[in-house]
Structure 1
Amino acid sequence: MPAAPSGFADHAVALTHRGAAALADGQDALAATCFTTAAVLAPHRASIWHNLGEARRTLGHVAGAEQAYRHALRLRPAYPKAWAGLAALLRKSRRPKAAARATIRALVLDPAFAEGWSIAGTMLSERRAMERLAVVQRRVVRLAPDSPPAWLALAAALNETMEVERAGGEAAEPPLPLACVRRAIALSPGQPAGYVNQAGFLIRQGRLDAALAVHARLRRLVPLEGHAEAGDSLVASLRGDVATAVSLARRSLVLQPASAATLVTLSLAEHDSGRTDLAHRGNRRAVALDPEGDAARFNLSMVLLAQGDFAEGWRLYESRWRMERTTYPAHAPPWQGGDPAGRSILLVAEQGQGDTLHFVRYAPMLAALGARVHLMVQPSLVRLLSRLPGIASVRSLAEAPPACDACIPLLSLPLVFGTSLATIPATVPYLHAADRDRGGWRRRLAGERRRKVGLVWAGSSHDGQFIAHMTDRRRSVALAALAPLADVPGVAFYSLQKGPPTDEAPPPGLDLTDWMGAADDFADTAALVAELDLVISVDTSVCHLAGALARPVWMLSRHDACWRWLRDRADSPWYPTMRLFRQDRPGDWPPVIARVRTALAEWAERR
């Protein structure tokens, strides 16, 4: 291709400089126009085509950007920047294999190319390849130690992997996430991203006052961008001040009306306040603004499931695998449906023990379709779930997995089975306590003539995970709050509680028998529950256990109830023997317990 005349070339250089300045200033359309004209004047220059690809990619013009990158690479095949730009474009357009190949080409050409390693880190994060993510991000900060985004990416990787090794030449302290964020802020103190990340890590650690101080600094730095208000809203939600959380989130949205993240924050606050329709609408808008946004898709899934819209809800619920600290089980290729007959399929527990008890109902259904079904579950559930019919093996999550044709997480089974509100597999009991285990409890209870009621008043405290800990505080009550139940005649109470809450002293008059020291696992607890007449519990795994055993169970539900309990129902389609007692207002337990006391007195009198 002949070179452009010198006048054209000079004009092309000037346009290239102008386009680069426009791109840096956020004027993407002007940049694309400048680079397009420059490419006409100097079509032989690969760098101009690369810049045009960058501008078009920023504008979201996928086909045009790819065309520009590929033309740059035809002119200069050994061009790491163009390969990296193409990789970023392919990654964004959901072509991970092609993106990986382009990234590898960039890094083979220049192993010290920080941008190439940064793209590799992004792809590892999306694939949840956490074991390699921190290693790659440490390399990025070594290659680009003055890059604030590189330090923020390392902070995110360390937060995911809880990596604490020293890196990046930092000798004063290990590169914990906050240390990396502080480095990013020091490099770019006038940019809000570092402060937003710093506040987020402080909130995860439960340092809410420190986070508010960072928000105040952020408000002084960028008073019209709404970041501080959104962060303050999250803090208010965690502290149970729902009205303030909604007000702050709305103020943030006024300042940044096109922010998907702010819409997610507002929708969470609306959900906590019981305004499910507004939460639905807000998450819908967030997904429209950012179709690939995992938080918006995940939060929308929970709203849809709570509203009984299972068709879309289960599909969007799969976005949980792109959230923090979640990794899809890789013991075998994923099973996404199809005829399971003749195949060995591993079902893997995820989330809490209650989730396992809830969704393990699908295991015998899968076995009935001809699959050889294996289970990997929490150690405390192995003995109980070994009694499920048709299951080839049950192992602890700590054990080596069996060789299988495919695997699938338990909470993905409703999607594969196409479960709708009308087709929930609600046949109970699907779990059974062993007669031998029941016999021991039966002998202990033999002399009791009153109605036998089990109590659970608190969930797992999740002391190492602050946000989960705050959720547990909303679902749990103090044992003293159950004092109104003490004077119900004809009832004997038995503790089904485990963990630190067992140290709480019963309120005066509440005669509570505690034999749970003799219950080593859920098989033992199931045997005791099977001998009781009723279980009253906050939203914990024991609710699921009692429901799966087809025992009567009354659940005390917090105002912002889990999606699985749906909305405005006193029953559960998952468990025919369950009755729900819901809070009318966030944190307001006394009216709930008063209703339980009235119902318990009527129940005891009838029986």
Structure 2
Amino acid sequence: MDPAFPAGWDWLARLAGAESLDEVRLRAMLRSVRLTPARPEALVAFGTALTDGDRVRGDARAREEGVGILLRALALDPASPEVIGALAGTAFRLSHFPEVLRLIRRLHRIDPQSANAYAMRSVVATMLGDFDAAIAHGRCAVLLAPGEATPWINLALGLHALQHPEIAAHYNRRAARLDPGGAVGRFNLSLNLLAMGELARGWRLYEARWRMGGARTPDHAPLWDGSDPAGRRILLTAEQGQGDTLHFIRYAPLLATRGARVEAQVQPSLVRLVSLMPGVSAVHRSDEPPPLCDAVIPLLSLPRLFGTTLDTIPAAIPYLRAAPADEARWRDRLAGEHRVGERRLKVGLVWAGDSHAAHLSANAVDGRRSLPLAALAPLASVPGIAWISLQKGAPAAQAGTPPPGMDLIDWMDEVTDFADTGALITQLDLVISVDTSVCHLAGGLGKPVWVLSRFDACWRWLIGRDDTPWYPTMRLFRQERPGDWDPVIARLAARLRIVADHRVPAAPAL
């Protein structure tokens, strides 16, 4: 290849990208840009690569350089839909939604028939919780570009969020046909199917996640394929959030009963808790090198390998347990607290999840699932409650100024990990939580837990149910309209009053 030939470097960059050789791809793009610094298309390709995927989250210098390169391209060609679209895509990945909308309006002025602009506007509306607008913009996009997969995928996102997974599934299938090698449509289809309870097909398609966004399956040992595990050392690895680990670690004892030596590599905050599980031989931190093993399997691939359906969900509880010494410590602490008293209902409270500021979609979801503690003021009017904060992270500061009438006990600065939190929960009568890791912890411990669930609920809670086959002691209090928490809190307060007045069970009948 002639080193002074830009098209050759462009070709090498495309080839390296297809093989996931990111550093080779970036070096080839850089050579092309240096040879032709005034070529907007080369600048767009390089700038987008620098700001895409994991680089947006983990490399601030590359991100700033990429934005600067895209701005150079815009200066060279201010009316280029490709350049404006690339800048809008970068702003979207950085969660700068006002800037995305500004760029989309600029793009529409240049090209009123831009399907890309409508498709991007659709997904931004979904992220912001305006699902009706997401569907309207998505429909415009598919009318303008019916042969492209992205408009159908983005329209399906809005429809799924508006609780129409069956229609969303139809559109994601269409996207998959239009882009046979694409992973996003297939992964989103898996979420549609899982939400509808079609678990077997959903788990199979859920494996498409490994072809998205730089995700990599563990490669230090062979992947367990579901074959006889007896006598083998099998490592279960956490791959997503702490709540996902708590949810799917339930499969560890099942694997142990089949004769495997089960080890787990999980988030540091979960090491001590998972170490207490029966059937788990050893637990390792996820921020350390993996141990030697015969096979490895990510936790969220286990339901597929176990053939889990709605009828076979492993829901024997408790599958988590606390250390007896930790339980005794919190039992004594509560017994010595004058604000508790023997006749009061002890209720733990979580009002916000992790903001996941570095992860686009998770951050958008957190904006819809979390709420300020002040929004729970109606709960303070229920008599006979001893309120105990279980909140961690930045929102925990709100515990210092609870709603009037809510005398909130806050010991969470003494809690160091989920084993501590779990031990405290074992001494409570009920946990009330938004859809975050603590609700999985309480459910896995077999404690009554009421979940405040956003309108576009997580796939695992299925459609239209106030119970869940995953956790027999859990009750879901769902939003009936996107973003509208007031009726949900009113229903929950009314139910809590009944439980507190009559000491009826807080959990569904088992």
TM-score under structure 1 length normalisation: 0.76
Amino acid at match of 1:238: M
How do residues 472-491 of structure 1 correspond to structure 2 at under 5 angstroms? 472-491=366-385
Greater CA deviation, 187-196 or 574-583? 187-196
In structure 2, the residue matched to 1:316 is 205
- Give the paired residue count: 489
| Distance (whole Å) between structure 2 residues aligned to residue 332 and residue 515 of structure 1 | 42
| Distance (whole Å) between structure 1 residues aligned to residue 130 and residue 8 of structure 2 | 47
- Contact 2:54–2:213, Cα closer than 8 Å, also in 1: no
| Distance (whole Å) between structure 1 residues aligned to residue 40 and residue 205 of structure 2 | 33
In structure 2, the residue matched to 1:340 is 229
In structure 1, the residue matched to 2:53 is 160
Q: CA deviation at 1:134?
A: 3.1
533, 536, 544: which one aligns with 2:440:
544
In structure 2, the residue matched to 1:304 is 193
How do residues 50-449 of structure 1 correspond to structure 2 at under 5 angstroms? 113-125=8-20, 132-143=21-32, 145-146=35-36, 151-158=43-50, 159-162=52-55, 176-185=65-74, 192-446=81-335, 448-449=341-342
Cα deviation, 1:419-441, whole Å, max 9, x if unaligned, reads 11111111110010011000110
State yes or no: 1:603 paired with 2:496: no
Q: CA deviation at 1:551?
A: 0.4
The 3-state SS of whatever aligns with 1:422 is coil
* TM-aligned CA distance change 1:589 to 1:358, over 3 Å: same
| Distance (whole Å) between structure 2 residues aligned to residue 598 and residue 260 of structure 1 | 46
In structure 2, the residue matched to 1:496 is 390
Cα deviation, 1:496-548, whole Å, max 9, x if unaligned, reads 00011111221111111111111110000000000000001000100000000
Task: Give aligned-pair identity as a percent.
Answer: 53
Q: CA deviation at 1:273?
A: 1.9
| Distance (whole Å) between structure 2 residues aligned to residue 346 and residue 112 of structure 1 | 46
Cα deviation, 1:201-241, whole Å, max 9, x if unaligned, reads 11222322221222122223332232212222222223322
Q: CA deviation at 1:152?
A: 4.4
| Distance (whole Å) between structure 2 residues aligned to residue 591 and residue 571 of structure 1 | 18
- Contact 1:340–1:371, Cα closer than 8 Å, also in 2: yes
Amino acid at match of 1:277: E
358, 365, 372: which one aligns with 1:471:
365
* TM-aligned CA distance change 1:420 to 1:148, over 3 Å: farther
| Distance (whole Å) between structure 2 residues aligned to residue 374 and residue 156 of structure 1 | 40
Q: CA deviation at 1:187?
A: 6.4
Q: CA deviation at 1:408?
A: 1.3
The 3-state SS of whatever aligns with 1:398 is coil
| Distance (whole Å) between structure 1 residues aligned to residue 47 and residue 217 of structure 2 | 22
- Contact 1:529–1:546, Cα closer than 8 Å, also in 2: yes
The 3-state SS of whatever aligns with 2:311 is helix
Cα deviation, 1:4-51, whole Å, max 9, x if unaligned, reads xxxxxxxxxxxxxxxxxxxxxxxxxxxxxxxxxxxxxxxxxxxxxxxx
* TM-aligned CA distance change 1:270 to 1:114, over 3 Å: same
Cα deviation, 1:397-456, whole Å, max 9, x if unaligned, reads 112211112211111111111111111111110010011000110001115221101000
Amino acid at match of 2:378: P
- Contact 1:218–1:227, Cα closer than 8 Å, also in 2: no
| Distance (whole Å) between structure 1 residues aligned to residue 105 and residue 137 of structure 2 | 14
Structure 2 residues not aligned, in runs of 5+: 504-510
Structure 1 residues not aligned, in runs of 5+: 1-79, 82-106, 126-131, 168-173
In structure 2, the residue matched to 1:29 is none
- Contact 2:17–2:25, Cα closer than 8 Å, also in 1: no
| Distance (whole Å) between structure 2 residues aligned to residue 539 and residue 165 of structure 1 | 31
In structure 1, the residue matched to 2:506 is none
TM-score under structure 2 length normalisation: 0.90
* TM-aligned CA distance change 1:484 to 1:327, over 3 Å: same
- Contact 2:230–2:259, Cα closer than 8 Å, also in 1: yes
| Distance (whole Å) between structure 2 residues aligned to residue 112 and residue 215 of structure 1 | 30
* TM-aligned CA distance change 1:185 to 1:321, over 3 Å: farther
The 3-state SS of whatever aligns with 1:492 is strand
- Contact 1:298–1:320, Cα closer than 8 Å, also in 2: yes
State yes or no: 1:566 paired with 2:462: yes
Cα deviation, 1:225-263, whole Å, max 9, x if unaligned, reads 322122222222233222222211112222122221001
Amino acid at match of 1:223: P
- Contact 2:163–2:463, Cα closer than 8 Å, also in 1: no
Q: CA deviation at 1:327?
A: 2.2
The 3-state SS of whatever aligns with 1:421 is coil
Cα deviation, 1:143-163, whole Å, max 9, x if unaligned, reads 465465654454454333427
| Distance (whole Å) between structure 2 residues aligned to residue 547 and residue 301 of structure 1 | 24
- Contact 2:315–2:472, Cα closer than 8 Å, also in 1: yes
| Distance (whole Å) between structure 2 residues aligned to residue 120 and residue 293 of structure 1 | 17
* TM-aligned CA distance change 1:153 to 1:111, over 3 Å: closer
- Contact 1:134–1:154, Cα closer than 8 Å, also in 2: no
- Contact 2:107–2:114, Cα closer than 8 Å, also in 1: no
Amino acid at match of 2:250: R
